[in-house]
Amino acid sequence: MRAFIGIGLPPECRRAIGEAISPFRARRLAVSWTPEQNLHVTLKFLGETPPGRVDEIASLLLAAGSGIPAFEFLAEGAGGFPSLRAPRVLWVGIREPLELVGKLQENMEKVLSGAGFPCEERPFHPHITVGRVRDRLPPGWGEKYASALSGKPFGAVGVNSYQLYESRLSPGGAVYAVLRDIPLPRGPERTEREEKGK
């Protein structure tokens, strides 16, 4: 099965992003737009993974998040990789606390590399992929996309857990199924109570 790790978005955030990109979707350009229900923040793509390793991976992810309290980030703005002049990926951005998202991803890479999963060599830039460009776009189109969504807020995302997903290919496109929901600690108060109970 094809697996990846990500942070899911609440329906109202996904809806706001879907409404913002709908004018661009209507132009029928060479872009494969992400279905609204599939929008998420990708932390790591695992690729083909034996189903028998799901419980092992979930345990590793629980350890990776053990020192990171639940947090909240804002979905806002837009951009493109590798550049807006010639984008291959169109995205919506996320704002603070990027250090917690980055720390979670760093911890995750460490524990998974110990289990034989290769580390991602590219720098980690957390984002929400909204479209993948299939062919050349009209000049200036990427800049217009980013400008239209610049500074536009799509809502706060409370992160109490993160998810191990399976990506199932179907005639209608990819369908994402949550295999495991990995909880994060709720903060210092919970940690203190747990320490006292030991």
Give tens-digit pLDDT for 61-94. Answer: 999 999 999 999 999 999 999 999 999 999 999 9
pLDDT at 190 over 50: no
Which sequence spans correspond to the domains of the chain? 2-197
pLDDT at 188: 52
pLDDT at 198: 40
pLDDT at 187: 57
Residue 32: pLDDT band (50, 70, 90) is: very high
DSSP assignment string, 22-46 = HHHHTT--SEEEPPGGG-EEEEEEE
Averaged over 18-36, what is the pLDDT?
A: 94
Q: Quote the CA–CA distance of 6 and 33 in Å, as a whole number.
A: 18
Q: Quote the CA–CA distance of 14 and 7 in Å, as a whole number.
A: 12
Residues labelled catalytic? 40, 127
Range name among 93-97, 121-125, 176-180 with the lowest pLDDT average:
93-97
Phi, psi of 140 (to 5 degrees): 80, 0
CATH number of 2-197: 3.90.1140.10
pLDDT at 194 over 70: no
**Residue 12 CB-half CA count within 13 A:** 7
What's the predicted TM-score (pTM) here?
A: 0.89
